[in-house]
Amino acid sequence: MAQHCKSTVEAPSPGATLAATPHERASGFRASLALLTILIAACSGPGNGMARQVETSDAEQVAPPEGPLAFRGAQGFGAVSAGGRGGRIIPVTTLDDSGPGSLRACIEADGPRVCVFRVSGVIRYTTAPPRIRNPFITIAGQTAPGGGITLAHAGGEAGATPLVVKQSHDVVIRHLRVRPDRIGNNRGGEDAITIEQSERVIIDHVSASWARDELINGHAQNDAITISNSIFAWAIPRHDKCALLGSDPTGRQTLSFIGNLCAHSGDRNPDINFMPGSCVEIFGNVFYNARSEFAEVWETYGGSPVALVGNSFIAGPDTSSSAVGIVRQTIGSTGEGSAYLRGNGFIGSFVHIDRSLDAIVRPQPPCPFSHSPRPAAEAYAAVLASAGAFPRDALDEQVVGEVAARRGSLASQPGTIPAIASGTPYPDADGDGMDDDWERANGTDPAMSDPWLDADGDGVANLEQFLDDLSDRLIRENGPTGGAQ
């Protein structure tokens, strides 16, 4: 009989978490980290399936992708995506569906390009949303003033996945929200984010909710994909799925799912379905309040090879006692998968590691890691502090508070997009995408367009350094540790 572990420690209320000062919230997260470390140790006996996890990392090797990083701190198999490096700087100056200055115009432009935002608010597609087909693009959501950018659609015939990367490569997307708050005509085509037939793609610090299919979906033959530091919450029943990482592959793939939060979705937290020879790493994520299944290792295409390291699987109010933390799915199996498990933490009364894993657990990873994963407790704290698009909106604040408090519930229908502050765009007299004040402070010329020069000689272009600094500042000033002493 499967055994369970149930925490009886009372967590703070969501209201207290969200209303706290930055210093109080920082203290709360530190306390939550300490509590999680204790609970992981208490809930890690052999009866909970922990005997199926290896205890040391001796068999692990790390072989990072070669080449310049897409941005400071980029990780995973997609870390060296070129994005729009060296290309045009295209300002997004309107929230309109299309036309000059629209995000669609930047997406559909040819050649390397960086989309920077001079507006904030909701971009609601009233016609079929654009597809990112032309390669070499960076969408820098961190440049938006005020409360940032949210993508949505108008429902009905326009109600398709708002953010799609299709038959493309070298795509970098950061600090966007995708919240389809209206119902379309085709549930099967209503993800929040889809990556299809593409390679060298990074989705980082993105927030998504209310998809009627998957919140994020990998389809067909992708490769060198990173999905990192993002929040995926409240998929819509009866197909409430967090992440379908692979479907209908035709060959080997590499994919990294790192430091994300999946919350309040019934299953596919995440769904892992790849061909033999693939390298799939699921590192340092927080999976919360699944109804029936958390991680699912499928064998439809010959058997998925996967490494799950340093993740936290946490029961919530909707999690059934028969729910499973990590399970092998053999429906339609065409070959045996392989699973490497180390340092995953489980909290709550559910089946932590199903006995179905016994036949496919391996003592070594299926391939070298792209980077060294964090321990589960450290990763948990980082996810709650800094995952998602910044500045966080009320929905991201809510779901993070609910994870910390072990509260909240699955959704029954889309909600309302929170108000987004307008703000004032930073000054950029020469139109090179960089804040004039930042340029003066960092040795570049605010009167000359110099995004791809390297003023300090560190090997990183001026614009890329600015975008990195801006992302870091948004997280530092708006996260739970912002302003803490």
What's the CATH number where 290 sits?
A: 2.160.20.10
Helix (H) and strand (E) counts for the chain?
Answer: 7, 28
Q: State the pLDDT at residue 33.
A: 54
299 domain-assigned: yes
Q: Which residues contact 482 (CB under 8 A, 6 or more apart)?
A: 22, 476
CB-CB contact of 305 with 338 (8 Å): yes
Calpha distance 132→167 (Å, rounded):
8
What is the per-residue pLDDT for 51? 60
Paired residues of 308 in beta bridges: 282, 341
What amino acid is encoded at 317 in this protein?
Answer: P
Specify if 443 maps to a domain.
no
Does 464 fall in a domain? no
Asked whether residue 118 is assigned to any structural domain, the reply reads yes
Specify the number of domains making up the chain. 1
What CA–CA distance (Å, rounded) separates 234 from 208? 9
Domain extent at residue 220:
16-405
Phi, psi of 467, rounded to the nearest 5 degrees: -65, -40
- For position 1, what pLDDT does the model report? 33
Bridge partners of 345, per DSSP, are 312
What is the per-residue pLDDT for 8?
32
What is residue 9's predicted lDDT score, i.e. its pLDDT? 32
- Packed helices 376-386 and 394-405: angle between N→C axes, nearest 10 degrees: 150
User: Which pLDDT belongs to residue 186?
Assistant: 79
Query: Residue 26: what pLDDT?
Result: 46
- pLDDT for res 48: 55
Q: What is the pLDDT of residue 484?
A: 32
What are residue 398's DSSP bridge partners?
none
Residue indicated by tokens 């979705």: 265
- How far are the Cα atoms of 11, 86, 419 from residue 92, in angstroms, in the given order? 43, 18, 20
Q: Longest C-alpha distance within the chain, in Å? A: 71
> Is 140 a domain residue?
yes
The answer to whether position 1 is within a domain reads: no
**How many CB atoms lie under 10 A from the CB of residue 29?**
22
CA distances from 283 to 304, 315, 375 (A): 16, 19, 9
**Which residue reads 């800094």 in tokens?**
386
Query: Within a domain: residue 341?
Result: yes
Q: Map tokens 């890691």 to a residue.
A: 369
Q: How far is CA 456 from the centre of its chain?
A: 32
DSSP secondary structure of 215-259: EEEEESS-EEEEEES-EEE-PPTTS-EEEE---S--S--EEEEES
pLDDT of 188 reads 72
Contact call for residues 326 and 353 (beta carbons, < 8 A) = yes
Task: Measure the CA–CA gap between 32 and 30, rounded to whole angstroms.
Answer: 5
Q: Are 465 and 443 in contact (CB under 8 A)?
A: no
Q: CB of 243 within 8 A of CB of 219? A: no
Residue 258 lies in a domain: yes
Stretches where the chain sits below pLDDT 70 are 1-51, 481-485
Peptide bond into 425 cis (omega under 30): no
DSSP state of 28: H
- Closest Cα partner for 300 from 361, 255, 246, 254? 246
How many Å apart are CA 114 and CA 95, to the nearest integer?
17
CA dihedral 158→162→166→172, nearest 10 degrees, is 160
What is the predicted pLDDT for the residue at 239?
Answer: 80
Give residue 187's pLDDT. Answer: 76
